[in-house]
Amino acid sequence: MQETLFDFPPKPPKSREFKAHVIDAGSAPDGSPIAHFECSRCDWDSGWVDCPTVTYGKRGIPCPACNQQL
């Protein structure tokens, strides 16, 4: 038997989050990064969205249609 220093209950599993990913990216007229996202699961389309960084865009954004709480 393995002894542990603390006996915490196990963490519940994190619920799955479906993400929309970049299908096109570029720069706005003012030079800020923008991206166009689409969900491959439900075909939701974001249109052009401001992104704080390029990395933020590459990670994807939560799909509002697939992640609705029922």
28 in any annotated domain: yes
CA atoms within 13 A on the CB side of 57: 20
β-partners of residue 34 are: 26, 50
The pLDDT tens digits for 13-69 are 888 899 999 999 999 999 889 999 999 999 999 999 998 887 888 899 999 999 885
38 in any annotated domain: yes
**Full domain range(s) for residue 44:** 19-62
Alpha helices in 1-70 (DSSP H): 54-59
69 in any annotated domain: no
14 in any annotated domain: no
Give the span between the Cα atoms of 68 and 43, in whole angstroms. 15
pLDDT above 80: residue 3 = no
- The pTM (predicted TM-score) of the whole model is 0.73
Q: By the 8 A CB rule, do 28 and 52 touch?
A: no
68 in any annotated domain: no
User: Could you give the number of structural domains in the chain?
Assistant: 1
43 in any annotated domain: yes
